[in-house]
Structure formats: structure tokens, C-alpha cells
Structure 1
């Protein structure tokens, strides 16, 4: 219920901000949206086919840890529309129950969760999950989200409704674009975890988007993957 209220608030905020932002960036142009969508479909479809053997191996690795190998969580997409964002499972099957226990017994865990909705030392992450997260390979199932039109290869990081509320006046920029598997914030080295920094990069991306910038971000993100840089 609280998540639905948060989504309603962010949609209302988007409606107000979209009027102010209209025509100020290329995302407002239909031709730009079609060009970006065509690029996403071609590249994501190719990667799904090319990486099929690797995806099967990763699916097998994740399934050995218990629970479903692919995990879906609700995120806020373009124009405030909620969608299921897919990842390879990186946590134990009873992660939600473990989180509740941690938040009830650890003040440090409470502070970490309030700051970033993450735990600095998260005991719920499995051994396979550590590998998948450190290489960002857990995100590969999101290629299917791209093909379905819910996400883009490049865009703002997918957010929960409660996270989007922290974007404040920058929420409209996030909602103007589809969330991406990677984005400007990640490509620039993921400097700064605070929401103000993330919102700044998302607004910068939307305001300066070109197909060339998407290609550059994808290349930088691929380079970070092969260099083994942390998330």
C-alpha cells in the first residue's frame, strides 16, 4: 500500500515537472525515442542470443544457492509506470526475513538501510551472489526487460518508489527516460552513493542524451566489467 502511494506521488510530481521540462531535451522528441528504442532492441536481442550459453551457466550457478535463479523486484519506470525488474538471484531465499531480523537487532544495519536501502556488510549475499554482483553479471536478465520495452540499455538506475522520493526536484528527469542496465553514474566510476549525486547524473544524462553518448557509456561500462571494477 505504501509503495502504491509513493508511486502515485511520484507520478503527480512527474506530471508537474514534465510541463516545465517539455522541449528542453532530446527525450521529448518522438524521433529520438524511436531511434533509441531501435538501438536497444537490436543490441539487446543480439546479446541475448550471443550470451545464451553464458546465461545458462549463470542460471545454473544461481539456482545452486536455493530459490529461483532469477529474481524480480518492482521498480519505477518511464512516466512512473511500475514494472518487474529482473536479476540473477544473489541473496539467500529468505532474504526478506533475514533483513527484518537484522533491522530489528542491529542499529548499524538500520543506519545503512535508512541511508541507501543497502547494508554495508550484507550477510544475505551468497558466495555466487558476491561474484555476480562484483562483475555486474547479475544484471544480464534485464536484457529481457529491454526487449520488452520496460528498460533501456543505458539510462537512470532502476529505483524503488521510496528511493525516487529522494530525487526531489530531479524526479522528473528520472521519469523522462527508461531505466537502464547501465548509465552515466556507473560509467563515471560510481563516485558517491548519495541520492543527490545519482540524481545529478541522471539529470545530466537526460539533458545531454545522444545515441553517441549511449554508445560511449556502454563501452565504458563494458571496460569496467572486464577490468573487474566493483559495483
Structure 2
């Protein structure tokens, strides 16, 4: 990471936290009232092929049933563990607001490849050795260009095994290709344009209501 990119990350993250802390506080209170504890979810992610860190998110899924170990990405198999509030947080990416603290700590950048789970880094070592030459980020080219496709693919999966297989076969290589394109053209100006595009999408999605229970529900493609 260049000094210019790090300075940009720190400046923007501190400014966003100063502006958005009332929103974050309101979401924390809403989660406490409607869903109870815990409010935060700290997930292991990889900063480099060898170095992990704790990625901080607002919790957007009820805990797995006792005796069940929840691993891998989230697909339709986990949809029954999400409430309307959880889905709204995922759809608008509001659950990722606490990750600004990860940026300030230096775990991730504002823009870069999404930090992967250890199991996928170990399954695709050569691929992620190249991708993780860039500091992972909250948003990025792959997040913006492939999210809708990933959401559609994983929403139809009905078991953890199917979700994992689809993600490995159809998502990992395509997202990595986009991450490497970003890597070759990474500049602060490019980061500004991707952040602006992300903000525009969030603002367009924010007014939508929670999904009604009677409607078929699509699960936002993300990692649990």
C-alpha cells in the first residue's frame, strides 16, 4: 500500500465515522431491541495468504443451531436465519460500517478485494497469492461488478455443500480476475470513483422496505 493510499484511507474513514456514528449507534440500538445480543460479529479473514485478522460487522444472521458449525459463504441454505432487518442491513451494506475501524487499524483498505475466508485461500493458494498483493477492502471492482451475479447464484443453493461448490467453481475465479484488473490500475483517483459508485448504489437501495414474509427471498451474497 502506498503512503498516498494509506493517507486517503485514514482521512476518509475518520471523516465517515465522524459523520455516520449516529447512524451506527441507531442501528446498534435497533439490533439490540429487535434481535438481541450479540450485536457485532467478528469473522476471521485473510489480509495476506499467511496473515489473518478479525473483520468487524454488525450481526446479520441468527446464531447457528446448537451443534452446527457455520462455515463458508452464505447462500440460500442460511436464509431461515435472517430477519427482515438482517436483510436490509446486508442489502444496503450498513452491516459493514464497523469495518471503518478495520481500515483505521490498517487491516484493510477502503477499496480492494474483499478479504477472503481462510478455507478459500488455502484451496486456491496461487490465485490468492496474486490477489492479496493488494490490501483487501470494504468495496472494490469485483464487489461492484459481480455482486448481483454472486447473489443470484448463491440464493438458489439449498445446502452448505452446494453453496460452497458454486462459490468455488463460479465465483472465486471470476472475482479474482476483476480484483487483478483493479490491481493493475489502482490509483487514488480510481479508488474515489469506486467509492462514489458504491455510495450511489447504497443511496438508491436505502429507501426500499424490508422484504415481506410472503415473498420469495433472495439472500444477499456475502460471507458469514
Cα offset, 1:167, TM superposition: 4.0
SS of the aligned residue for 1:54 comes to helix
Select which of 177, 201, 211 maps to 1:200.
177
Select which of 118, 133, 137 maps to 2:74.
118
Alignment-derived partner of residue 211 in structure 1:
188
Asked if residue 34 in structure 1 is aligned to residue 3 in structure 2, the reply is yes
Partner Cα distance (2:139, 2:128) in 1: 18
Alignment-derived partner of residue 25 in structure 2:
56
Cα offset, 1:97, TM superposition: 3.6
Whether the aligned pair in 1 keeps the contact of 2:134 and 2:183 (CA below 8 Å) is: yes
The 5-angstrom pairing of residues 62-141 of structure 1 reads 62-64=31-33, 65-78=35-48, 80-92=50-62, 94-95=63-64, 97=66, 100=69, 117-121=73-77, 122-141=79-98
Cα offset, 1:165, TM superposition: 3.4
Cα offset, 1:191, TM superposition: 5.0
* CA gap 1:183/1:99 in 2 versus in 1, 3 angstroms: farther
Whether the aligned pair in 2 keeps the contact of 1:62 and 1:90 (CA below 8 Å) is: no
SS of the aligned residue for 1:84 comes to strand
Partner Cα distance (1:209, 1:223) in 2: 20
Partner Cα distance (1:96, 1:217) in 2: 38
Whether the aligned pair in 2 keeps the contact of 1:170 and 1:203 (CA below 8 Å) is: no
SS of the aligned residue for 2:74 comes to coil
Partner Cα distance (2:95, 2:68) in 1: 20
* CA gap 1:42/1:215 in 2 versus in 1, 3 angstroms: same
Whether the aligned pair in 2 keeps the contact of 1:74 and 1:82 (CA below 8 Å) is: yes
* CA gap 1:191/1:124 in 2 versus in 1, 3 angstroms: closer
Cα offset, 1:155, TM superposition: 0.6
Matched pairs, number:
186
Cα offset, 1:169, TM superposition: 3.1
Query: Which protein has the bigger helix share?
Result: 1
Cα offset, 1:168, TM superposition: 4.7
Query: Cα RMSD (Å) of the superposition?
Result: 2.2
CA offsets, 1:70-125, max 9 Å, x none? 11011000363110000001111x2264855xx9xxxxxxxxx8xx7322251111
* TM-score, normalization by structure 1: 0.73
